[in-house]
Structure 1
């Protein structure tokens, strides 16, 4: 496994690989890897000659007062996990190379990223789209693997790839959960035992919504959202950021729930820890 830290070296390496007809699969991450990230490696490994993973905590997708400085980092552990999973290249750039001192160019998606996390975290998706455009230009992947847990982010990046004509196929991996049902996330590290106990209400609320739709046959958006909120309000440390039911392709609010189309998205604060989860009906 090769570790690349220079933007120039990454660009030269990826251009050389493509020139020799190699297929590149790419998993962009912010590090502190867990099984959810590694499942994306497994997902596209068979389709690629070269499997490339990036580790970069992107400052432009964090807002004022968010957790950029304390975001968990453990590069050596990450590299060992990459070796164990058969990753070929790991790109770990410095911010000074990704963003020039006077950088003034950003990528802004103006439709699917406007609601939900777009409202809750202004400029978050601008940062995500910008850094991913930079990484795509440097790494030149044929395939990029993204996780369904970040459902709105997936749709934003798909739209950017389509609109800017990146020759990339997106592969989306399912949400992976801990044995207790909590969606895997690097931020789970922040949770103390009582906080983690209340965080489980998020998945329990999703299960309650699934039961109302699949067992009771309801397609009423307000009823299903009320069921979710009824579960979440049991948490004393938990504050709801949003509960939305949207079209999974456009991120627009649904008037009624339709199988194969509708997405339930939930975001909460457990004390100072923000968690997201979702379910596709």
Structure 2
């Protein structure tokens, strides 16, 4: 199969934005092309859309990357999917790091990577296309969005809950700091931790597999956040510096932030967790930046896998 795929155009490409349907269609094509990939549904969104993990590798050490937690940061979904596509191509061709820039077969025989490219599928579509006639939250969403029908700045899920303020790590402190007491385009952490199915799906997968390290792709700023309240292991800073070195990003010790996926993972497991702020500009980053950002993210994710 691998030799027949040489010279083919990448499955994962971005044109005018990137909707949930684009991701589902491309995942289907990747599954048909590469036997190295497996698909596992880990949950469903508020509106019943599948939240899928793509899995590659056969090793006993499990690691994880997620993307599109924030709706208008949708470009992170194809960034992660393109990386999975290149890993799969390398696995099936036997190509190693020297030829592909991606980890070779030997490393992925020791590791299993679980990638969740579309953690907020309802929000991805809302932020790009706005309201649709049959939207079950139509009237509420207009109110939560300040009366505007322009949802390009929308970060939350379809119920106005910011999924990266949903995790049980300083949740009360983050809610007080944000000062948001109801559904909104961003910063509202919900009625309680993990009350939204999308956040609960990520937490459930993480607790089941107890990953050795995790990363969450966001935009923007070209920064890497690696710490949480001094609970991170000693190796976290060194790995963050390596990720920064290969990508040109800056490793940042962040303070005054709680309730994110990375924060919760570090707090609960005391293992390395990273938030990667890809690209630079104003969200949503334009689709035309995809290839440029991917050139930075590919070596960063490769180094993350190597650990």
Give the structure-2-normalised TM-score: 0.30
The higher radius of gyration belongs to: 1
More strand by share: 1
Larger RCO: Structure 1 or Structure 2 (Cα < 8 Å, ≥ 6 residues apart)?
A: 2
